Structure 1
Amino acid sequence: MKLRRIFCVGLLSVTMLSGCSLFGGDDDAVKVSPLPQVNNQFSPNKMWSTSVGNGVGEYYSHLRPSWQDGRIYAAARNGQVKAMDADSGNQVWKTDVTEKASFFSSDKSPMLSGGVTAAGAHVYVGSENAIIYALNSADGTLAWKTLVAGEVLSHPVVNNGLVLVHTTNGVLQALSEADGSIKWTANLGMPLLSLRGESAPAIAHGAAVVGGDNGRVNAVLLEQGQLIWQQRISQPSGATEIDRLADVDSSPVIVDNVVYAQGYNGSFTAMDLRSGQIIWKRDMGSVSDFFIDSGRVFLVDQDDKVVALSLNGGTILWTQNDLLHRQLTAPVLFNGYVVVGDSEGYLHWMDSATGQFVAQNKVDSDGFLSSPIVAGDRLVIQARGGSVYSYNR
């Protein structure tokens, strides 16, 4: 289980805590798989590396880079945001969104935690202080900032002039892309206890579909924020509060009017986009994002098994069990390979057809939490300490 590193217990609710730090300890101890021995069929080629502040350190923050128009955008928890040339890694601009405090006190850290999202003329990033920042992508200057309903852990999603933000208190808000004004607010419900993390919405046919901490997937009309349907895919059960955690923190994926979503302690589920009715489901829980390609679903479950499922009925095509409890990132597809990072700073490359390892490389001793991104013909990943790396095949 990944529970020890993602679950922060408070007196009333996990969601009342901000910036839960990661601690050692023997609670919920699990046996971590040793590093697999891999005969590399190729050597991943590092093109460049650079640094963005101090990264996220030991905090549970999924800040990850974003790519648009030949640039990589990345951020650090302490407020630095940087634009880099995707080919060379050279800095295009750098800014700091830290608010200047009074003469007699230190600057207030923005505690950036949600994003980065590059879309159109802006780069968006959210914070544990419940602020969304929009920077001009051309030069990094501040376009606007808006106080939202709660802290932001997932990346903002931009569609049709709206910036959608899912906050940790179970609220989905739509902001104007132009000036940050709040257009509507939808309350999706919130349990007393939840995992630290939030689903980012998927958009299709005028609806935003997003997972909730109460085990439900929600569909909301983009135009006015009206709830269309809710479907439970993770049912609380068990003897303890931890056993009954049912968050849907992974971001749904929509293909051919079918919504695919996954819950912690729940199921990977396919639902009809129009009605929310369940088409099929398979018992397989996770909090990590997944991807779909060529009729297959690729995911990392909550025990760090890497799994490929058939999109038609959820048949298991292959399972890679040699990375159990190595605290994997969400997977991505790059040049036909499934790639994940782990907490020790390795990248693991698997054949997407069989799940067999084809390459492995040590990248950064600080380790990874956020998933790699694909930027054209490059794979880009940001380590906990703030270093950003670009690889190609």
Structure 2
Amino acid sequence: MRSVTATAAKATSFARSRSAGKLALNVAAMAAVVALSGCSLFSSKKDPNPPAPLVEFTQKMRAQAAWTVSVGKAGSYQFSPAFASGSVFAAANDGTVVRINAQNGQTLWRSRAEGNLTAGVGSDGSTVVVVGEKGRIQAFDAASGKATWSAQAPSEVLSAPAVGEGLVVIRSIDNRVTAYDADNGSQRWMVQRNVPSLTLRNAPGIVIGSQTAFVALPGGRLSALALNNGGPRWEVAVGDPRGTTELERISDVSGVPALGSRDICAVSYQGRIGCFDLLNGNVRWIKEFSSDVGVNLDDAYVYAADVGGAVTEFARDTGAVIWRNDRLKNRQLSSPIAVGRAVAVADFQGYIHFLSREDGAFVARLATDGSAVQAPPVSTGSSVVFQTKSGTVVSVAAE
């Protein structure tokens, strides 16, 4: 299971499913760390939530790896690839940063950041940004891979920076959202948010569009901030903290919000999934749901994997459930993503499963390097790119 930050008084109450293993109690002083490995504090010879065995099926679609590139291990952090200007940018915990031709997998350059990294990658095709230990932000020229500037975040950063419209926007674990000039790293603005007493230790994301930074936040909030000064445009509750204990009240927005041309969709842990009007945050639809990995969308549908391992396709306009596949129970899924006529989702063993967009049935499966896929996959238009914990970046095409 993943690490837990907690005060000793509250740590002993935790014995939940695999997603709850990511919980972190963030107190004002950032209290002591208790590492729970394999839930050994609650020892049981038999896993109470065993992963479902792989389902046998007749392959109905051809899926293959167009290319693979080894970048480096993620360690205890999560590194997500970024796609911009025809290239895939990726990074690893040891400081490796690479640019890969999205068409053929050729490594165009490979650079090394100073020190170990905790978050990345963000890029707009001109600037590439990663974050190192103690919140050190480092930028590279996308064309050459040369380091261009560095800056200091207020505290540790776990989420990939968002780069766009001349800014680099990051959220640090003290719940400050900070914008830096993409050309020179000077700070443009900072917004301080309240820190809930207990949060997931994950990487809630930021997406930029329409002169706005859409920020997923602990406490179940999705915030739209004006890029010019960080002023609030609107804020909505995706999660709705409830329950009598701090654990039951965790309802953080998970993963990266999915941005469309007229709406933005998001999901929270122990909360809800929904789509909201891009301009004013008005609710288009919202439903009870719990996920710790985020959502994706296409022109007609929204895709999400819940904490139990069920993948659901929702109608984007109404939120109606089109289908639900629960045959991947407890396989610790990534966020799903549309590719070709299928929906692809990866699991803790590095398998990529392809489900029919029509009914959710299995149509193909592809093995990677055997390690978990936790970071959100990205689309290049003709393929989707996954990055494993062991550092394999793989571009997958499906007919």
Q: For residue 388 of structure 1, report the CA deviation from its aligned partner.
A: 2.2
How far apart, in 1, do the equivalents of 2:250 and 2:141 lie?
A: 39
Residues 8, 195 of structure 1: 8 Å contact kept: yes
Aligned pairs for 1:119-268 within 5 A: 119-268=124-273
How far apart, in 2, do the equivalents of 1:390 and 1:228 lie?
A: 36
Aligned pairs for 1:1-393 within 5 A: 1-9=17-25, 12=27, 23-25=37-39, 27=42, 29-53=48-72, 55-57=73-75, 59=76, 61-98=77-114, 109-110=115-116, 112-393=117-398
**Counterpart code for 1:37:** E
TM-score by length of 1: 0.88
How far apart, in 1, do the equivalents of 2:273 and 2:303 lie?
A: 11
Q: For residue 156 of structure 1, report the CA deviation from its aligned partner.
A: 1.6
Q: Does the residue aligned with 1:129 lie in a helix, a strand or coil?
A: helix
More off after superposition, 182-191 vs 207-216: 207-216
Residues 24, 198 of structure 2: 8 Å contact kept: no
How far apart, in 1, do the equivalents of 2:265 and 2:166 lie?
A: 25
The aligned residue for residue 10 of structure 2 is: none
Residues 65, 116 of structure 1: 8 Å contact kept: yes
Q: Does the residue aligned with 1:84 lie in a helix, a strand or coil?
A: strand
How far apart, in 1, do the equivalents of 2:113 and 2:35 lie?
A: 22
Q: For residues 247-286 of structure 1, what are the alpha-carbon distances to aligned partners after superposition, in whole Å with 9 as ceiling and x for unaligned?
A: 1133323445433222111111233444434343110121
Q: For residue 364 of structure 1, report the CA deviation from its aligned partner.
A: 1.3
Any gaps of 5 or more consecutive residues in structure 1?
Answer: 99-108
Structure 1 residues 262 and 94: alpha-carbon distance in aligned structure 2, compared to 1, 3 A threshold:
same
Structure 1 residues 254 and 368: alpha-carbon distance in aligned structure 2, compared to 1, 3 A threshold:
closer
TM-score by length of 2: 0.87
More off after superposition, 319-328 vs 186-195: 186-195
Residues 85, 124 of structure 2: 8 Å contact kept: no
Figure out how many residues of one structure are paired with residues of the other and give that number: 377
Q: For residue 128 of structure 1, report the CA deviation from its aligned partner.
A: 4.0
How far apart, in 1, do the equivalents of 2:261 and 2:65 lie?
A: 36
How far apart, in 1, do the equivalents of 2:242 and 2:217 lie?
A: 17
Q: For residues 57-92 of structure 1, what are the alpha-carbon distances to aligned partners after superposition, in whole Å with 9 as ceiling and x for unaligned?
A: 3x1x22022233343322111111122333443332
Structure 1 residues 31 and 15: alpha-carbon distance in aligned structure 2, compared to 1, 3 A threshold:
farther
How far apart, in 1, do the equivalents of 2:20 and 2:293 lie?
A: 15
Residues 269, 282 of structure 1: 8 Å contact kept: yes
More off after superposition, 280-289 vs 203-212: 203-212
**Counterpart code for 2:50:** K
Q: For residue 144 of structure 1, report the CA deviation from its aligned partner.
A: 0.7
**Counterpart code for 2:37:** F
Residues 14, 194 of structure 1: 8 Å contact kept: no
Any gaps of 5 or more consecutive residues in structure 2?
Answer: 1-16
Residues 166, 198 of structure 1: 8 Å contact kept: no
More off after superposition, 347-356 vs 218-227: 218-227
How far apart, in 1, do the equivalents of 2:277 and 2:382 lie?
A: 34
Structure 1 residues 253 and 64: alpha-carbon distance in aligned structure 2, compared to 1, 3 A threshold:
closer
Residues 120, 160 of structure 2: 8 Å contact kept: yes
Q: For residue 331 of structure 1, report the CA deviation from its aligned partner.
A: 1.1
How far apart, in 1, do the equivalents of 2:260 and 2:106 lie?
A: 36
How far apart, in 2, do the equivalents of 1:173 and 1:295 lie?
A: 33
Residues 79, 97 of structure 1: 8 Å contact kept: yes
Residues 260, 268 of structure 1: 8 Å contact kept: yes
The aligned residue for residue 102 of structure 1 is: none
Residues 335, 376 of structure 2: 8 Å contact kept: yes
Structure 1 residues 43 and 272: alpha-carbon distance in aligned structure 2, compared to 1, 3 A threshold:
closer
Residues 140, 147 of structure 2: 8 Å contact kept: yes
Cα RMSD for the two superposed structures: 2.4
Structure 1 residues 228 and 15: alpha-carbon distance in aligned structure 2, compared to 1, 3 A threshold:
farther
More off after superposition, 140-149 vs 61-70: 61-70
How far apart, in 2, do the equivalents of 1:164 and 1:7 lie?
A: 24
More off after superposition, 123-132 vs 141-150: 123-132
